[in-house]
């Protein structure tokens, strides 16, 4: 057996293990749609931390961060990771806790159910549904593209006769197919409960494997100090790589967690408000533990591979060069773990949104049995997976660039959720106008960047998200002041007198 | 500690994030971490500590749901 085939065997073993865990966790499934969609609101502090953290970390965090550090240096950590440590937890504290509380009190399963109630508007739900689903698709795409790039990088020459076109590597179409198959299997068995179990396991795996890759690569380069000494000076500073305004404007992007529909669903699974304690404190630390090894690997790669063909491939190339086939396989399994721990939550969430926000909302909750609803959720997920999978075959776009656009869309809608939670005066008309304005400005700028092809696209020197966010915020404030305030019934529901 | 102190802490941390003072400094801390990266590693630890303080001293009142 060749070293590359050994790597393939290790990766396959990991996927089989994950599948077994998914089937095992399905034994705890209670058979109801409430358990399928929000795990009967019974998830404790540790699993909440692992599932929320695992969900927010994807190919963007491992493959994307290594590639971006290779391309523009250590500023990658500050502009996303350390900002996220602060702002993600702020979103959990100021928005997540409130939404969890509303969800428990009014039995919500999706974000749109909350918005419909809060803004007394069915139309807002139908408007938000395609926008949120449309923004989740590039997020899924980031996962599939990242998985394909890494597996292709570490399996070079494994099957030269079988996969001649890809130089003997496992082709990206096959990796995407297998990844989707494994994730769909375990979420179909137990819904969000299986996703939480799988996320816990996978988060442990990718954190450990990130550190293992870091140690192996540093050893291969002669130790930490030797490895850093070989890196280029440009990779160690931000001067010439980004402006201070651009760096500042990246601070808007982590606000996306306040609007991710799949994170909203994870918040709702919490057993109590206290379940959030560990997530708030450990999230910034976990981000640091995951990102720092990847940033340093990307920085070191500037000395090892001065002309890498693609930034997506840098992590796979470094692992392939410095880790043996067994460790290479294990580290790749860690990368796949990070990717799949996001895909599963997104798949469950899409199914939940379709059934709850469209089917049940339209036909009433007594029209279908729990079993029928769960099957409809699965059917919709398969449809979206097919669309995403098709796009992944056409789109060899940079993971980091695509991820930033996707997160920018969610982040720009953050004023909507913040106003819904804290501002009594915000109105239905303002919410609808804000969603329309945000979607239009986002699409206009995305098109101006040649649909993400133009890397480093900026508006007046800042990230586009800053302007889309401001457009949303201004629309909410101005339109609210000129339109009719919500009814007293709604206000007393969301702002009860103490 | 009151809730407003969390707001102040957030603003201070946001300002400290804009570390233009290490913008062009390639000094390696412990021979491994460029100082611009090391600063942000420490920043992440401080952010975790701030949220620990928020839980202890400024936990929001969520009404009846909190006890469930």
3-state secondary structure chain A: CCHHHHHHHHHHHHHHHHHHHHHHHHHHCCCCHHHHHHHHHCECHHHHHHHHHHHHCCHHHHHHHHHHHHHHCCHHHHHHHHHHHHHHHHHHHHHHHHHHHHHHHHCCCCHHHHHHHHHCCHHHHHHHHHHHHHHHHHHHHHHHHHHHHHHHHHCCCCCCCCCCCCCCCCCHHHHHHHHHHHHHHHHHHHHHHHHHHHHHHHHHHHHHHHHHHHHHHHHHCCCHHHHHHHCCHHHHCCCCCCCHHHHHHHHHHHHHHHCCHHHHHHHHCECCHHHHHHHHHHHHHHHHHHHHHHHHHHHHHHHHCCCCCCHHHHHHHHHHHHCCHHHHHHHHHHHHHHHHHHHHHHHHHHHHHHHHHHHHHHHCCCCCCHHHHHHHHHHHHHHHHHHHHHHHHHCCCCHHHHHHHHHHHHHHCHHHHHHHHHCCCCCHHHHHHHHHHHHHHHHHHHHHCCCCCCCCCCECCECHHHHHHHHHHHHHHHHHHHCCCCCHHHHHHHCCCC
Chain B: closest CA distance from residue A463 (Å): 15
A444-495 pLDDT tens trace? 999 999 888 787 789 999 999 999 999 999 999 999 999 999 999 999 999 9
Contact between residue A259 and residue A38 where contact means Cβ atoms under 8 Å apart: no
Look at residues A345, A253, A251 and name the one whose alpha carbon lies nearest to residue A37: A345
CB contact under 8 A, A74 and B37: yes
CB within 8 Å: B23 and A244: yes
State which residue of chain A sits closest to B67, comparing Cα positions.
A272
In sequence order, what are the residues at sequence separation of 6 or more whose Cβ sits closer than 8 angstroms to the Cβ of residue A301? A66, A70, A308, A314, A317, A318
Out of B6, B43, B51, name the one closest to residue A82 (CB): B43
Nearest to B66 among A273, A282, A284 (CB): A273
User: Are residues A237 and A361 in contact, defined by beta-carbon separation less than 8 angstroms?
Assistant: no
Q: Is B66 in Cβ contact with A225 (below 8 Å)?
A: no
User: What are the helix (H) ranges across chain B?
Assistant: 3-17, 35-57
Contact A83 B17 (CB under 8 A): yes
How much is the pLDDT for A340? 86
Q: CB–CB of B17 and A86 under 8 A?
A: yes
* Residue A343, strand partner residues: none
Higher pLDDT, B4 or A359: A359
A285 and B45 within 8 Å at the Cβ level: the answer is: yes
Q: Which two tokens stand for residue A30?
A: 């209670």
**Which of A472, A471, A474, A461 minimizes the C-alpha distance to A248?**
A461
pLDDT digits (tens, 9 = 90+) for B7-62: 899 999 999 999 999 999 999 999 999 999 999 999 999 999 999 999 988 888 77
Q: Which residues of A touch B50 (CB under 8 A)?
A: 86
Residue where the block lists tokens 């102190």: B5
Q: What is the pLDDT of residues A422-442, one digit of tens each?
A: 999 999 999 999 999 999 999
Task: For chain A, say whether B2 makes contact (Cβ under 8 Å).
Answer: no
Inter-chain residue contact A97 with B52, CB threshold 8 Å? no
Give the minimum alpha-carbon distance from A333 to chain B in angstroms, rounded to a whole number. 26
A40 pLDDT band (50/70/90 cuts)?
A: low
Residue of A43, A84, A93 to mutate when probing chain B, most B C-beta within 10 A: A93
The rounded distance, in Å, linking the Cα atoms of A171 and A330 is 19
Side-chain half-sphere exposure of A19, counting CA atoms within 13 A: 13
Minimal C-alpha gap between A214 and chain B (Å): 13
Mean pLDDT of chain A: 89
Based on its alpha-carbon atoms, the radius of gyration of chain A, rounded to whole angstroms, reads 22
Search chain A and give the residue with CA nearest B32. Answer: A225
DSSP code for B27: P
Q: Is the pLDDT of residue A72 over 80?
A: yes
Query: From the CA of B24, how many Å to the nearest CA of chain A?
Result: 5
pLDDT tens for each residue of A97-110 = 999 999 999 989 89
Picking from A42, A82, A496 by the largest number of B CB atoms within 10 A of its own CB, the best residue to mutate is A82
What pLDDT sits at residue A260? 93
Per the CB < 8 Å rule, is B63 touching A496? yes
pLDDT for residue A284: 95
pLDDT digits (tens, 9 = 90+) for A337-382: 888 888 888 888 898 899 999 999 999 888 888 888 888 988 998 9
Q: ∠ CA(A412), CA(A461), CA(A87), 5° rounding?
A: 40
Quote the distance between the C-alpha of residue A482 and its chain's center: 36
Q: Which residues of B touch A105 (CB under 8 A)?
A: 65
Q: Which two tokens mark A116?
A: 């419909």
Convert the pLDDT of each residue in A259-312 to its tens digit: 999 889 888 888 888 999 999 999 999 999 999 999 999 999 999 999 888 887
Burial (CB < 10 A; 0-12, 13-18, 19+), residue A368, is: middle
- Tell me which chain B residues have a C-beta less than 8 angstroms from the C-beta of A100: 65
Residue A145, φ and ψ in degrees, nearest 5 = -65, -40
Closest CB to B20 among A77, A98, A244? A244
- pLDDT at residue B68 above 50? no
In this complex, is the C-beta atom of B23 within 8 Å of any C-beta atom belonging to chain A? yes
Q: Which residues of A touch B54 (CB under 8 A)?
A: 93, 280
- How many A/B residue pairs have CB atoms within 8 Å? 132
Q: What CA–CA distance (Å, rounded) separates A7 from A30?
A: 38
A400 vs A149: CA distance, rounded Å: 13
pLDDT for residue B63: 67
Q: Which of B44, B45, B50 to mutate to test the interface with A (most CBs of A within 10 A)?
A: B44
Question: Residue B67: pLDDT above 60?
Answer: no
The closest of A363, A388, A139, A342 to A355, measured between CA atoms, is: A363
Closest B-chain CA to A84: B44
Residue appearing with tokens 């990088």: A153
Interchain CB distance below 8 Å, A292 and B41: yes
Q: What is the mean pLDDT of residues A317-327?
A: 84
* pLDDT score recorded for residue B6: 87
What's the pTM? 0.89
Residue bearing the bigger pLDDT, A194 or B50: B50
Tokens for A88?
A: 């993600």
pLDDT of residue A117: 95
How close B9 comes to chain A (CA, Å)? 10
Are A281 and B51 a contacting pair at CB < 8 A?
Answer: yes
Would you state the structure tokens that stand for residue A340, as one six-digit string? 């799949």
Query: Residue A9 is encoded by which pair of tokens?
Result: 């065997």
- Contact (CB<8Å) B43/A77: no
Put simply, the answer to whether B32 touches A225 (Cβ < 8 Å) is yes
Distance of alpha carbon A309 from the chain centroid: 26
How far lies A43's CA from each of A199, A318, A479, B53, in Å?
13, 38, 39, 24
Looking at beta carbons, which residues of chain A come within 8 Å of B30? 224-225
Helix (H, G, I), strand (E, B) or coil at B46: helix
In terms of average pLDDT, the best of A154-158, A316-320, A430-434, B54-58 is A430-434
């Amino acid at each position: 057996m060749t070293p590359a085939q050994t790597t393939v065997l290790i990766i396959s073993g990991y996927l089989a293990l994950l599948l077994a865990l998914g089937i095992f966790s399905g034994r705890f499934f209670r058979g109801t749609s409430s358990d399928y969609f929000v795990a009967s609101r019974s998830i404790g502090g540790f699993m909440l931390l692992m599932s929320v953290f695992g969900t927010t970390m994807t190919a963007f965090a491992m493959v994307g961060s290594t590639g971006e550090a290779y391309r523009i240096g250590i500023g990658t950590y500050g502009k996303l990771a350390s900002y996220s440590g602060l702002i993600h937890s702020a979103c959990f504290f100021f928005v997540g806790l409130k939404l969890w509380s509303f969800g428990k009190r009014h039995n919500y399963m999706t974000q749109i159910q909350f918005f419909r109630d809060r803004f007394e508007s069915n139309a807002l739900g139908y408007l938000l549904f395609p926008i949120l689903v449309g923004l989740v698709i590039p997020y899924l795409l980031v996962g599939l593209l990242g998985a394909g790039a890494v597996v292709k990088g570490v399996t070079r020459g494994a099957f030269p006769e079988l996969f001649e076109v890809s130089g003997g590597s496992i082709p990206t179409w096959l990796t995407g197919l297998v990844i989707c198959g494994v994730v769909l299997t375990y979420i179909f068995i137990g819904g969000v409960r299986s996703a939480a179990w799988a996320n816990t396991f996978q988060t442990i795996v990718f954190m450990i494997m990130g550190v293992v890759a870091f140690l192996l690569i540093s050893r291969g380069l002669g130790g930490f100090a030797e490895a850093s000494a070989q890196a280029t000076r440009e990779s160690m500073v931000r001067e010439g790589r980004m402006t201070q305004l651009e760096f500042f404007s990246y601070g808007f992007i982590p606000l996306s967690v306040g609007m991710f529909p799949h994170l909203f669903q994870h918040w709702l699974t919490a057993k109590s408000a206290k379940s959030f304690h560990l997530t708030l404190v450990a999230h910034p630390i976990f981000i640091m533990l995951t990102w720092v090894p990847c940033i340093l690997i990307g920085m070191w790669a500037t000395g090892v591979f001065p002309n890498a063909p693609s930034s997506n491939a840098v992590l796979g190339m470094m692992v392939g060069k410095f880790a043996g086939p067994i460790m290479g396989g294990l580290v790749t399994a860690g990368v796949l773990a990070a990717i799949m721990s996001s895909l599963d939550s997104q798949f469950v969430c899409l199914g939940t949104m379709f059934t709850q926000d469209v089917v049940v909302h339209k036909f009433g909750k007594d029209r279908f049995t729990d079993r029928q609803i769960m099957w409809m959720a699965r059917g919709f997920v398969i449809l979206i997976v097919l669309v995403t999978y098709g796009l992944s075959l056409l789109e060899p776009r940079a993971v980091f660039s695509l991820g930033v656009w996707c997160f920018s869309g969610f982040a720009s809608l953050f004023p909507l959720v913040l106003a819904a939670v804290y501002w009594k005066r915000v109105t239905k008309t303002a919410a609808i106008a804000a969603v329309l304005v945000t979607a239009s400005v986002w699409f206009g700028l995305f098109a101006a960047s040649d649909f993400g092809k133009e890397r480093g696209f900026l508006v007046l020197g800042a990230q586009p998200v800053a302007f889309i966010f401001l457009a949303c915020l201004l629309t909410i404030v101005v339109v609210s002041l000129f339109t009719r305030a919500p009814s007293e019934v709604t206000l007393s529901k969301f702002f009860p007198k103490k | 500690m009151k809730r407003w102190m969390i707001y102040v802490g957030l603003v201070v941390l946001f300002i400290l994030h804009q570390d233009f003072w290490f913008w062009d400094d390639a000094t390696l801390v412990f021979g491994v971490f460029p100082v611009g990266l090391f600063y942000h590693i420490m920043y992440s630890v401080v952010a975790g500590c701030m949220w620990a303080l928020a839980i202890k001293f400024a936990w929001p009142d969520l009404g009846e749901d909190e006890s469930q």
